[in-house]
Amino acid sequence: MDDALSHLLSDVRTRGALFDQSVLQPPWSLRFDEGLPVSLLSMLSGEAWLTAAGAPSPVPLHTGDIVVVVGPEPYTVADSRATTPRADVHRAAPGGTSLHDLTLPLGDGPGDPAGTPVLLKATYQVHGSVSRRVLNALPRVARVPALPECRPIMGMISTEIARHSPGRQVMFDRMLDLLLVSSLREWFELPGSAAPSWYRAHHDPLIGQALRLIHDSPGRPWTVADLAAEVGASRARFAQRFTELVGQPPMTYLAQWRISLAADLLACSDATVEAVARRVGYANAYALSVAFKRTLGVRPGEHRSLARAR
């Protein structure tokens, strides 16, 4: 069985990734106001500062660092905290927003050896309740120091940006998937990152195994006693330890996980509500509808209509 985090991150999928790579001449400062829920930025060369509402202080970007910005509110990237914004980048258009239209001396291609600042930026929409579950665990700005394993990905992205070959969008989507998942995993492991309780819990031999069981087989009619027996613990000890580490009782976590899966299945498949209900562990469509309404405030059919109207 795979670990619980893999189950969560496997559903953090990109569609319609928008990439920009720009060479900038100091002094420079860009205010991004695209209204998208997730942005990922990195300085391929040079250094910068990122300022965002909701972040306690400006965040430094050293060469190779990766920053994930969560939320649609504007943020600014500049060569210095003292540089005022000289251009706005507004809502991203299909196919990407070209920074070359801005009133800045910008160019294309990789950074030069002298260290000319090169900003790589990617944005994308969040699809699915499971993806939101992961991203909701992040702060407004999550910075991951430069990672050697990410350098090849950055090089591939730079190369693909310069090309206009068939399949370009699919390449962007898959590369951003890899870059984002690598960044999330590394951020969760950073000391002092305040990683979510469900992430920390998967390191525990008992509770990590229980989380894998829940994620592997959400449709199984689990009870606390069943889970405890599977991991080789008494019911009382298991329930107490699960609640301490995860922050909620086993059945509460299971119910929320089932609803998240059901929400995604309803949004991205044509399966009937009855079929979805049985797949995620509810006896019938009515039982799922009651739990769905109680948790998300809408009926399953309403959720499907809203998701497909976006």
- pLDDT for 41-98, tens place per residue? 999 888 999 999 888 889 999 998 999 998 888 899 999 888 876 656 644 443 333 3
> Do both 119 and 214 map to the same domain?
no
pLDDT of residue 302: 92
Q: Is residue 194 part of a domain?
A: no
Domain holding 273: CATH number?
1.10.10.60
Closest to 201 measured CA to CA, from 192, 193, 211, 191 = 211
**Lowest model confidence (mean pLDDT) among 17-26, 141-150, 232-241:** 17-26
> Do both 125 and 257 map to the same domain?
no
Which domain range does residue 217 map to? 199-309
Return the number of other C-beta atoms located less than 10 Å from residue 14's C-beta: 24
Task: Quote the percentage of the chain above a pLDDT of 70.
Answer: 81
pLDDT at 139 over 50: yes
Q: Which two tokens stand for residue 250?
A: 């086993």
Alpha-carbon span 264 to 250, nearest angstrom: 21
**Lowest model confidence (mean pLDDT) among 90-99, 128-137, 170-179, 194-203:** 90-99
**Plot region of 64 (φ>0 → left; ψ -120 to 50 → alpha; else → beta):** left
In this prediction, residue 152 has a pLDDT band, given cuts at 50, 70 and 90, of: confident
pLDDT of residue 108: 39
Of 162, 189, 216, the position where a domain reaches its end is 189
Chain center to CA of 69: 10
Mean pLDDT for the chain? 80
Which residue has better confidence, 126 or 242? Answer: 242
- Would the pTM count as exceeding 0.75? no
**Lowest model confidence (mean pLDDT) among 3-17, 30-44, 163-177:** 3-17
Alpha-carbon span 224 to 47, nearest angstrom: 51
pLDDT of residue 99: 38
Q: Which helix (H) or strand (E) holds 118?
A: strand 118-124
State the total domains in the chain.
2
- Residue 275's contacts (CB-CB under 8 Å, 6 or more residues apart) are none
